[in-house]
Amino acid sequence: MKIKKHLSSILGTNAAFVILLLLQIAFLMLAVTSLGGRFYFVYFALIILDIILAVYITNKNEPISYRVAWIVIISVFPIMGGISYLFLKLSQQFPKSLDMRNQKQTRELLVQDKDVMNELSAMCPDALNLARYVADYGMYPVYRNLHAEYFPFGEIQFEKLVEEIKSAKHFIFLEFFIITEGYMFDTISELLIRKAAEGVDVRLMYDGIGTGMLNSVKPFRRLADNGIKCKVFNPFRPMISSVQNNRDHRKIVIIDGITAFNGGTNIGDEYINRKERFGHWKDTAVMIRGQAVWNYTVMFLQLWEKAESSEMLKFKPRMPQYLSMPVGDGFVQPFSDSPLDEEPVGKRVYLELINNAREYVCITTPYLILDEEMTNALGFAAKKGVDVRIITPHIPDKWYVHMIAWNNYTQLTAMGVRIYEYTPGFIHAKTCVADGKTALVGTINFDYRSFYLHFECGSVLYECSVIRKMVQDFNKTAEISQLITMEDCNSRSVFKKIAGAFLNMFAPLL
């Protein structure tokens, strides 16, 4: 446990996983090279394998950057490259039950109301295709917005979350990528224990690496001993398989099926600025009420366990409870994205917002690791005259990711995109607003992991008044951030430029 925590604190959970994976590949290589006189026959066999794999990878329907990275590895390391690729691909053994996109159950539980889609078409015709795509390929319907509330900082969200947990009467579902001990965790734990004692069904799910590498099991045993159901998603098992790369990056809290929270905030004191790690920590989230919460309830239960539809329907509130709520404005469409299919829903939503923007696009992301498709979309929007602005951290949590981001700064700035770094510290928010009419807030970063490897989620907002608050918050944040100029990009040292370009070549694998 100490080794895992030490690796995580220095390099981050993703890099720690890569190191452990490389150790296993090194073990496989040692076995190959110990064959003695037969090594040369094995060597030529591996060369032939590498040629076959290079042709196969070139023709696969995957991001160009990902394919190029693997072809470079296979070319430079003719023995290790092919074995590494096969190991990564053949050792992915997630249960098929988690591939929610192909489940008949999902279609039965999440049914699109045609009247709502028609209303959206009349009120927001430009957003109709996006809503239809998320409903058909993400399998999550769009709903009339009853209430949506935006939180510009994690500490404000935390205050509201505590208030809502106190009012829970039936069930509380929590799902987080990272949970660390401290004031925030202790406060929520005490509330959950109290609610469990009152008979509320409390369930907590956390990621096996994001949380499992940071904590001992004692705090969760205490919760379990007090009636809270705790579940580890994809537990940390070093030296087993590359399926460890697919993490649960979602952050969801569902209360009584009527209220849901989602955004970038995990459970940890840095997220509410009671602990300083990388300067001031800025995070954002949204709280929604109404029928749209059902989308979050279903996505939580499907990842929690394989249950029959009839069992899941027990957690769906009845219509009278919704009808008593005041009617809001606009529409909301919560959705989940799975790495187990070939449909990067989160990335496609971002691309649609960028491509259809006519006036401006505002983006906040902690990581800016882009492929050609996303780079071209951002650059082309700027060239068309769209005001494209992106805010990233000034104080990074991962040095190598920051170097790759600067490599992208140069390309984007040259095309007219305005990049800002959040001077006070680290911005962890994942938001995108297009023309003040359509927005996305959730857990999805602008990087390969969020687009292709992690379980993610978010809410698309259409013509909701809360979007104006998101734009106001973005503008305020930009005012206290540093605008990156082409001069800044050119004045970087030669070493940093070379390092950034080199790391960018392998960005899809980091």
Query: Does residue 40 lie within any of the structural domains?
Result: yes
Q: What is the CA radius of gyration of the chain?
A: 23
Which 8-state DSSP code applies to residue 307? -
Residue 367 and residue 300 in one domain: no
Residue 326 and residue 358 in one domain: no
Residue 285 and residue 434 in one domain: no
Q: Length of the chain in residues, anyone?
A: 510
Query: Beta strand 360-364 with 387-393: parallel, antiparallel or unpaired?
Result: parallel
Among 39, 66, 91, residue at a domain's last position: 91
Residue 115 and residue 254 in one domain: yes
Query: Does residue 338 lie within any of the structural domains?
Result: no
Output the pLDDT for position 6. 46
Helix axes 494-505, 64-76, angle to 10 degrees: 100
Q: Which strand (E) or helix (H) includes residue 432?
A: strand 431-434
Query: Does residue 336 lie within any of the structural domains?
Result: no
Residue 378 and residue 304 in one domain: no
Tens of pLDDT along the chain (510 residues) come to 444 444 444 445 555 545 545 555 565 556 555 655 565 666 677 777 777 877 877 777 777 777 777 777 777 776 667 767 776 666 555 555 555 544 677 788 999 999 999 999 999 999 999 999 999 998 999 999 989 999 999 999 999 999 999 999 999 999 999 999 999 999 999 999 999 999 999 999 999 888 876 667 888 999 999 999 999 988 876 554 555 678 899 999 999 999 999 999 999 999 999 999 999 999 999 999 999 999 999 999 988 877 778 888 889 887 555 555 666 789 999 999 988 887 899 999 999 999 999 999 999 999 999 988 999 999 999 999 999 999 999 999 988 899 999 999 999 999 999 999 999 999 999 999 999 999 999 999 999 889 988 999 999 999 999 999 999 999 999 999 999 999 999 999 888 888 888 887 777 766
Residue 295 and residue 277 in one domain: yes
Residue 197 and residue 271 in one domain: yes
373-422 per-position pLDDT tens digit: 999 999 999 999 999 999 999 999 988 899 999 999 999 999 999 999 99
Residue with tokens 């990275």: 69
Residue 205 and residue 257 in one domain: yes
- C-beta of residue 64 within 8 angstroms of C-beta of residue 216: no
Going by C-alpha positions, the residue among 188, 256, 283 that lies closest to residue 228 is 188
Residue 463 and residue 482 in one domain: yes
Among 91, 121, 145, residue at a domain's last position: 91
Which residues have C-beta within 8 Å of that of residue 379, sequence separation ≥ 6?
411, 412, 415, 416, 417
Dist CA 65 CA 375 (whole Å) = 12
Residue 465 and residue 504 in one domain: yes
Query: Does residue 420 lie within any of the structural domains?
Result: yes
Residue 290 and residue 260 in one domain: yes
Q: Rounded to 10 degrees, what is the CA torsion of 67, 70, 74, 75? A: 60
Query: Does residue 370 lie within any of the structural domains?
Result: yes
- 203 beta partners: 173, 229
Q: For residue 272, what is the domain's CATH number?
A: 3.30.870.10
Domain that holds residue 490: 345-509
Among 331, 354, 387, residue at a domain's last position: 331
Domain count, the chain: 3
Task: Quote the pTM value.
Answer: 0.87
Largest CA distance in the chain: 79
Residue 422 and residue 501 in one domain: yes
Structure tokens at 467: 């979007």
Query: Does residue 376 lie within any of the structural domains?
Result: yes
Query: Does residue 339 lie within any of the structural domains?
Result: no
Dist CA 298 CA 432 (whole Å) = 24
